[in-house]
Amino acid sequence: MKRIIIDADTGVDDSLAILYALRSPNFHVEGITTCFGNNNAEQSADNSLRLIKLSGCGYEVPVAVGANESLEGVFESAPAFIHGDNGIGNVELPESSQKPLEESASDFIIRKAEELKGELIIITTGRMTNLALALRKDPKLPGKVKKVVSMGGTLNAPGNITPYAEANIYGDAMAADIVFKAGFNLMLAGLDVTMKTFITDRDVENLCTYCLEECRPIAGYIKDVLKFYFEFHRVSMGMANACVVHDPLAVLIAEDPSLGMFKMVRAGVEYENEAFKGMIKTDNGFVPDLDREEIAVCVEVDSVKAVRRLFSVFQDMTPGRYNKS
């Protein structure tokens, strides 16, 4: 059982990652911490609380609100056509009676790292601001957590916010640079693999047909939220009835790294030069720095297996019942 915190800017793809983690028998979600990005940190917390309720995971999952601006004091939110006005494709999920903790996201991360004595895995699906703030308060944090797995960055794929940068890394490039160099056991699932992994309407149909009775409300949510997200992919990328898979891949790789192939690099993030802000600089070409810990960047992934696994936790997988196509 892997003990994880998900640090999210709870938008459409974050919500799939969260629902998967809450239903997977291989995870215990110790908490969800939130950050600005797809929306503000409070909205992300509210979305996370609604998703915990929807998941029916059967255990308590605390939610802590985090940063509402980058380390450099900038608040930027994704345009509403990507994740909707509420971050989850304008789908109205039932409200939760659970309230967020009084504790900040960074304090919560530090506390859980202490409590779990080296067992904690932190999965980030948004900006790395909360983690950088936690590091500022506790520079020994990298030695206290098992691993950090992040959706973010790109080595060779084109950026999705500038030609060189992925949105989560660009959104707080200074925080990412700090986290990259801090000595965490860090794995990245970035655009090199997320842009090659697709959910299609066929997957959604299968999910709805073969979902477990208790997961019907989840399947209904996924259908609605992906309808919105597919439209964004149609308009911006010309994709028909499909979307790429960002945040769920980080959770899937945290659960089972054998889904991917990794390149080890020593890396930093550009944050001073505006034109290249958010670009990952590696020892391959830019910053030979042999004293720094290597990070593992996922460069290949078994996308078919990943998507099948993503939906498997909501489905009846009895042989013969589940349509494998």
The residues of the shown chain that bind ligand RIB, judged by CB under 6 A, are 9, 11, 13-14, 37-38, 125-126, 151, 160, 166-168, 246-247
Q: Which residue, 37 or 100, has its beta carbon nearer to ligand RIB?
A: 37
Active-site residue flag, 224: no
Q: How far apart are CA 192 and CA 190, in angstroms?
A: 5
3-state secondary structure of 264: strand
List the structure tokens of 107: 């304090």
State the catalytic residue, choosing from 46, 177, 203, 246.
Answer: 246
Instruction: Compute the half-sphere exposure of residue 295: CA atoms within 13 Å on the CB side of its CA.
Output: 34
| Residue 169 CB partners (closer than 8 Å, separation 6+) | 128, 152, 153, 176, 190, 269, 278, 280
From the candidates 9, 14, 203, 247, which is the catalytic residue?
9
Q: How many CA atoms lie within 13 A of 62 on its CB side?
A: 15
Give least dist CB 152 to Ca ion, A: 9
Give whichever of 5 and 211 is closer to ligand RIB, judged by the CB atom.
Answer: 5
Q: Is 125 in the site for Ca ion (CB under 5 A)?
A: yes
By C-beta, is 166 or 270 nearer to Ca ion?
166
According to the 3-state scheme, what is the secondary structure of 87-103? CCCCCCCCCCCCCCCCC
The DSSP string of 1-64 is: -EEEEEEE---HHHHHHHHHHHH-TTEEEEEEEE-SSSS-HHHHHHHHHHHHHHHT-SS---EE
**Residue 167 touches which member of ligand RIB, Ca ion, none, C-beta under 5-8 Å by kind:** ligand RIB
Distance between CA atoms of 270 and 82, rounded to whole angstroms?
25
Closest separation in Å from C-beta 318 to ligand RIB: 33
Least distance to ligand RIB from the beta carbon of 248, Å? 10
Nearest-approach distance from CB 7 to ligand RIB, in angstroms: 11
Q: Tell me how far apart the alpha carbons of residues 178 and 198 are, in angstroms, rounded to a whole number.
A: 31
**Phi, psi of 120, deg, nearest 5:** -70, 135
The entry of ligand RIB, Ca ion, none that residue 166 binds, CB within 5 to 8 Å by partner kind: ligand RIB
For ligand RIB, the closer CB: 124 or 206: 124
CB 300 within 8 A of CB 324: no
Min separation Cβ 278 and ligand RIB, Å: 10
Q: Examine the residue annotation and report whether 83 is marked as an active-site residue of this protein.
A: no
Site for Ca ion, residues 237 to 276, rule: CB under 5 A: 247
Q: Which does 30 bind (CB under 5 to 8 A by kind): Ca ion, ligand RIB, none?
A: none
- 7 interacts with Ca ion by CB under 5 A: no
Residues in touch with Ca ion (CB under 5 A): 9, 14, 125-126, 247
Residues with a catalytic annotation lie at: 9, 246
